[in-house]
Structure 1
């Protein structure tokens, strides 16, 4: 996650911001994961550790993260109209 510029936030800064700004309606289960990228069924955290993504919504489970055809379709549509409502 970027800090508004080109600098990536450290894991410690992400934890601080998470604790300060995220409202939780339920208890925490373990340490939070700060995911920064995904490709296919895999995601990578801020420390570079990779995981098999078994918790995403149906879309990511079916198509994977960042499928090239889907990414291109999103780019093409964003050049025309982003939110019509």
Structure 2
């Protein structure tokens, strides 16, 4: 067997530094994306509150029809009915 198991492992500091930098860049990108998503969600909430103030909440901004209650229960910030939302994604 020999001393193979007891040998000291030498670390390549360049690789470790590169991995640490990559981890830091990934964490930074995730943080930026998280902030972007929170900002969008906040904008959608503020827009929904404005629609409530104008008595326009629950109506599709595209066609004017009522948005299904199930859709609003799932996401109260929805501003399109399911039909118009599906059309918009195509």
Name the TM-score, length of structure 1 as normaliser.
0.22
Name the TM-score, length of structure 2 as normaliser.
0.21
Q: Going by fraction, where is strand more abundant, 1 or 2? A: 1
Whose radius of gyration is greater, 1 or 2? 2
Q: Going by fraction, where is helix more abundant, 1 or 2? A: 2
